[in-house]
Amino acid sequence: MRILIVTQYFWPESFMINDVVKALVKQGHQVVVATGKPNYPEGNIFPGYQAGGVQRELFDEQTLVVRIPTWPRKHGGAKNLILNYLVFVLAGMFCLPWALRGLKFDAILVYAPSPITQTIPAILLKWIKRAPLALWVQDLWPESLQATGFVRNKKALAAVGYLVYWIYKGCDLLLAQSKAFIPPLNEYANRSKIRYQPNSFPEQSTDEPIDAPADLLDLLDKKFCVVFAGNLGQAQALDCVVDAAQLLKDHNDISIVLVGSGSRSEWLAEQKRSRGLHNLELPGRFPMQTMASIFGRAGALLVSLEDDPIFALTIPSKIQAYLAAGKPVLASLNGEGARVVLEAGAGLASSAGDSAGLSANILKVQAMSAKQREAMGQHARAYFLEHFETDSQATHLAETLSAMGAGNSLGAIS
């Protein structure tokens, strides 16, 4: 198939779609990616790129990447974020029809973490290229805007709801990253165009592994370390994690290690200082290639989300990475994410925001024998291979897109 993928986020930014593209190309599909200039998560345009102009390059030496002008997220704030979203839409509508001239596609796929507005240029391309359009929904709008506090005004949320309805109407297929997404999507779109397409994670990375810093590896080897990896933002319920660290202060052989960066990094550093949390480690962000060495030495891996109905519908993408690592998983969240961990037999779950429950589960996993923790890790790996491995999910995705393009019934592959 000839597939155009439209996404505001792509390599060298770390997103799951990078590995999906690699898998599709390996399976013989021709893929072109239309995206912006990389600037996530720090907010600055990456070295080697500039905000203005259209740029072309090859990803993994095979895939054409067309990059359009971008307003960088900078250091946050509503103004920069709105401009970041808006410029992608306008630049996509004005630049992509010309930049992609002469190219034909059998299907167009939008990979859509927030913002959902990145679908708008793809709707235009759908009509220009006469190719069916699928939207892979990673965040539910307007619900996620309300949950994060980005939009609170009821009239504004209603306006976003109308926009979402229009966007979904312009798509031929909606792919839900979680089965729990299906009912909310059905409020804005006909159920017949909604299909379940879980997020994935590569079983084996093609990138050369890199060891984490020696002092971090030494800590991981000497103590029972609970590792959280990823964005350190508002949605991750870090208050709960810090409170759990407070409850575990007297357990000198346990450390909670938060690997990553985000809007709450400075707050975390201040909490560590003011509370004297010697058991809370903030080593910073590292390349994805270091995660194997970090995960391999962790006693358990932590995923947490705020107590909000919208987050209960989501399977955080780090769950797939954790399951692939074959380590016990501690889930401090509600809904789908916790269900997956428990269904897999991969770890323990506590309610979102329950610091006492989280600290108790940390102590339970630490008290287990090495054989019991190894069994949890084996269950995690087995569940990952059955449900989330990238190559098999890319095959499923390609079959779905092909059926959409042929106008066939999608029931058999939903």
Structure tokens at 46: 């990456």
Vertex 117 angle, CA 111 and 121, to 5°:
80
Give me the pLDDT at residue 317, please.
85
Residues 382 and 401 in one domain: no
For residues 292 and 209, is the Cβ–Cβ distance under 8 A?
A: yes
Q: Is the dihedral of CA 240, 242, 248, 252 positive or negative?
A: positive
111 lies in a domain?
Answer: yes
20 lies in a domain?
Answer: yes
Residues 393 and 382 in one domain: no
Helices within 107-181 (DSSP H only): 119-129, 143-148, 154-169
Q: Is the pTM of this model over 0.85?
A: no
Residues 405 and 313 in one domain: no
Q: Which of 6, 411, 401, 394 is nearest to 201 (CA)?
A: 394
pLDDT bin (cut points 50, 70, 90) of residue 205 is low
For residues 24 and 149, is the Cβ–Cβ distance under 8 A?
A: no
207 lies in a domain?
Answer: no
Give me the pLDDT at residue 160, please.
87
Q: Which of 399, 324, 325, 333 is nearest to 361 (CA)?
A: 333
Stretch 159-164: mean pLDDT: 92
Vertex 81 angle, CA 264 and 194, to 5°:
95
59 lies in a domain?
Answer: yes
27 lies in a domain?
Answer: yes
Stretch 93-97: mean pLDDT: 97
Q: What percent of the chain shows pLDDT beyond 70?
A: 96
Strands (E), 201-333: 224-229, 254-259, 280-284, 300-304, 329-332
Stretch 352-358: mean pLDDT: 97
Q: Which of 259, 274, 261, 264 is nearest to 240 (CA)?
A: 264
pLDDT bin (cut points 50, 70, 90) of residue 411 is very low
Give me the pLDDT at residue 200, please.
87
Residues 196 and 232 in one domain: no
181 lies in a domain?
Answer: yes
Domain region containing 270: 214-387
Task: Give the other-Cβ count within 10 Å of 324's Cβ.
Answer: 25
Residues 107 and 237 in one domain: no
Residues 124 and 29 in one domain: yes
Q: What CATH number should be reported for the domain holding residue 323? A: 3.40.50.2000
Q: Is the dihedral of CA 411, 201, 47, 261 positive or negative?
A: positive
Say how many domains are in the chain.
2
Stretch 355-361: mean pLDDT: 98
pLDDT bin (cut points 50, 70, 90) of residue 144 is confident
205 lies in a domain?
Answer: no
Burial category of 19 from C-beta neighbours within 10 Å (exposed 0-12, middle 13-18, buried 19 and up)? buried
Half-sphere exposure of 410 (CA within 13 A, CB side): 25
For residues 116 and 138, what is the distance between their CA atoms, to the nearest angstrom?
A: 9
pLDDT tens, position by position, 263-305: 899 999 999 999 999 999 999 998 888 999 999 999 999 999 9
Q: Is the dihedral of CA 286, 73, 116, 267 positive or negative?
A: positive
For residues 207 and 289, is the Cβ–Cβ distance under 8 A?
A: yes
Whether the pLDDT of residue 412 is over 60: the answer is: no
Structure tokens at 258: 């938060």
DSSP class of residue 101 equals T
Residues 394 and 373 in one domain: no
Give me the pLDDT at residue 407, please.
60
Phi–psi pair at 410, nearest 5 degrees = -100, 0
Residue with tokens 């380590």: 327
Give me the pLDDT at residue 208, please.
63
Residues 379 and 393 in one domain: no
Give me the pLDDT at residue 92, please.
98
Average pLDDT, the chain: 92
Residues 321 and 279 in one domain: yes
Residues 221 and 352 in one domain: yes
For residues 181 and 405, what is the distance between their CA atoms, to the nearest angstrom?
A: 23
Q: Which amino acid is at 379?
A: H
pLDDT tens, position by position, 236-265: 999 999 999 999 999 999 999 999 998 899
pLDDT tens, position by position, 208-236: 678 889 999 999 999 999 999 999 988 89
Residues 185 and 40 in one domain: yes
Residues 194 and 230 in one domain: no
Give me the pLDDT at residue 409, please.
45
For residues 19 and 27, is the Cβ–Cβ distance under 8 A?
A: no
Helices within 44-153 (DSSP H only): 78-99, 119-129, 143-148
